[in-house]
Amino acid sequence: MGFEDLTEFETRLFEWIRQSDFEEVPWKAARAAKAFKVSAEDVNEALAALTSKVPHNIYVHYEDGAIRISAER
């Protein structure tokens, strides 16, 4: 799988993550949901899909009590 397999929302979410600093600023699905005008569940499902569709381009880890995410093409 690769970028060509992403949905339109997954692509938009990936680019938003890539252009943001969710390594320094903790990730919050609710903030992403508000930004995209979707539910937090939709965000979480898209994030999970990104980790399986483009696993070498998105990095999710847990640090200091918060989820941290980075993405690169």
Quote the pTM value.
0.92
pLDDT at 25: 93
Positive or negative CA dihedral for 39, 56, 12, 49?
Answer: negative
Q: How far is 60 from 30, CA to CA, in rounded Å?
A: 17
pLDDT at 14: 98
pLDDT at 8: 97
Looking up residue 49, the CATH number of its domain turns out to be 1.10.10.10
pLDDT at 1: 86
Q: How many domains does the chain have?
A: 1
Which regions in the chain score pLDDT beneath 50?
none
